[in-house]
């Protein structure tokens, strides 16, 4: 295998000179640069990215940490991050934390030790001080960590209000809110938006808490619908939860949307594939992921960031799990 010593020998220069040229670290004359480049082409030499990373203490690798790769929401975000990073010459390494603090911390430590260029995190399990102490550029995506950390997110409260108002306008009177885990800001904000609309209307809702896991959510939803058979409208704080609700509705023989209307939140592609197709408060997932990657690369390359907090409005996407009265 060709190495840097072979290049130095063909170019008739020292290994140190060739190293300075490859790592762009120190002066190399124009004549020497030409000889090195000629030797590289002659030998078809490909510099070690690992060695260059160690020399420069930075690579062209971006770490992306997600809480649960099984949740179809996060692969769609990851795809947008990867596309934008690729356009700028960066490679993305995907890490799945399983919503575990220890695992997330280990990934952060390992990525930092390999001199990643920067981190995008869609998790927020640890104290903000942990993320802020990371000695590498960082962007929070989807979940807010701290105002000091550049962030791309959706106005979750406003989006939840949009979905809840649509259910009420369409004639739903007995509402169930399937909220996500307590303490998770996105889930908390979506619950607040739901309750803000409910309080104004004087409606007495039912609220259940679950993780974003499909099977766990289905169990919780089935219990709620069995205990409260009068429920005729569901606002779910993720599309995964909404699809679980649709599954249980079919199981219990409830007709959607005639007897039970369902609105989700996220706008994942899977929502178009279920039957009936899911009405949802859609986030622009591609725009969010691409914006986070751009924001991170601006930091990495020392450019002035156009903005440090980007809050993207969600849009109601009306499909088959709600009636059409409000759309007329």
As a whole number of Å, the end-to-end CA separation of the chain is 70
Residues 221 and 179: their CA atoms lie apart, in Å, by 11
CA dihedral 49, 52, 57, 61 (to 10 degrees): -20
Note whether 235 and 178 are within 8 A (CB). Answer: yes
Largest CA distance in the chain: 85
Residues 15 and 264: their CA atoms lie apart, in Å, by 60
pLDDT by residue for the chain (328 residues), tens only, comes to: 777 888 899 999 988 888 778 776 678 888 999 999 899 889 888 765 544 454 455 578 999 999 999 999 999 999 999 999 999 889 999 999 998 999 999 998 888 777 788 999 998 888 888 888 888 899 999 988 988 899 999 999 999 999 999 999 999 999 999 999 998 889 999 999 999 999 988 888 999 999 999 999 999 999 999 999 999 999 999 999 999 999 999 999 999 999 999 999 999 999 999 999 999 999 999 999 999 999 999 998 888 887 889 999 999 999 999 998 644 4
267 C-beta neighbours (distance < 10 Å), count:
24
pLDDT for res 57: 52
Q: For the domain made up of 61-154+285-312, give the CATH fold.
A: Rossmann fold (3.40.50)
Query: Considering only the top CATH level, what class is 4-56?
Result: mainly alpha
Q: What is the value of pTM for the model shown?
A: 0.80
Please name the residue that has the structure tokens 């004359």: 29
Q: Where are the domains of the chain?
A: 4-56, 61-154+285-312, 156-283+316-327
Residues 14 and 83: their CA atoms lie apart, in Å, by 39
Measured CA to CA in angstroms, residue 71 lies from 40, 64, 111, 262, 318 at distances of 45, 15, 23, 19, 22
Helix (H) or strand (E) segment spanning residue 316: strand 315-317
User: What DSSP letter does each residue of 88-145 carry, written as one string?
Assistant: TT-EEEEEE-TT-HHHHHHHHHHHHHTT-SEEEE----S-HHHHHT-SS-EEEESS--
Q: For the domain made up of 156-283+316-327, give the CATH fold.
A: Rossmann fold (3.40.50)
Residues 86 and 65: their CA atoms lie apart, in Å, by 17
Query: CB under 8 Å to 255, separation ≥6 — which residues?
Result: 249
């Amino acid at each position: 295998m060709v190495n840097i010593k072979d290049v130095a020998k063909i170019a008739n220069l020292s290994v140190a000179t060739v190293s300075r040229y490859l790592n762009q670290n120190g002066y190399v004359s124009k004549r020497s640069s030409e000889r090195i480049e000629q030797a590289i082409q002659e030998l078809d030499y490909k510099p070690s990215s690992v060695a260059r990373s160690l020399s420069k203490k930075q690579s062209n690798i971006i770490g992306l940490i997600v809480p649960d790769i099984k949740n179809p929401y996060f692969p769609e975000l990851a795809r947008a991050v990867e596309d934008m990073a690729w356009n700028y010459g960066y490679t993305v390494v995907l890490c799945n934390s399983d919503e575990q603090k220890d695992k997330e911390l280990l990934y952060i430590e390992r990525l930092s030790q390999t001199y990643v260029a920067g981190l995008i995190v869609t998790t927020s399990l640890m104290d903000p001080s942990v993320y802020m102490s990371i000695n590498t550029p960082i962007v929070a995506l989807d979940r807010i960590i701290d105002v000091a950390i550049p962030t791309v997110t959706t106005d979750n409260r406003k989006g939840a209000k949009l979905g809840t108002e649509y259910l009420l306008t369409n004639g739903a009177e007995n509402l169930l809110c399937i909220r996500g885990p307590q303490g998770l800001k996105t889930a908390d904000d979506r619950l607040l938006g739901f309750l803000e609309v409910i309080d104004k209307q004087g409606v007495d809702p039912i609220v259940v808490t679950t993780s974003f896991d499909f099977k766990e959510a289905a169990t919780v939803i089935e219990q709620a619908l069995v205990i409260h058979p009068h429920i005729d409208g569901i606002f779910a704080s993720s599309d995964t939860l909404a699809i679980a609700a649709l599954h249980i509705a079919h199981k219990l023989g409830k007709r959607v949307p005639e007897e039970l209307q369902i609105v989700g939140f996220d706008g994942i592609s899977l929502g178009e594939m279920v039957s009936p197709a899911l009405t949802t408060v859609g986030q622009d997932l591609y725009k969010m992921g691409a914006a986070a990657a751009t924001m991170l690369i601006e930091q990495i390359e020392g450019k002035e960031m156009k903005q440090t907090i980007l809050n993207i409005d969600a849009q109601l996407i009306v499909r088959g799990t709600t009636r059409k009265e409000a759309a007329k």
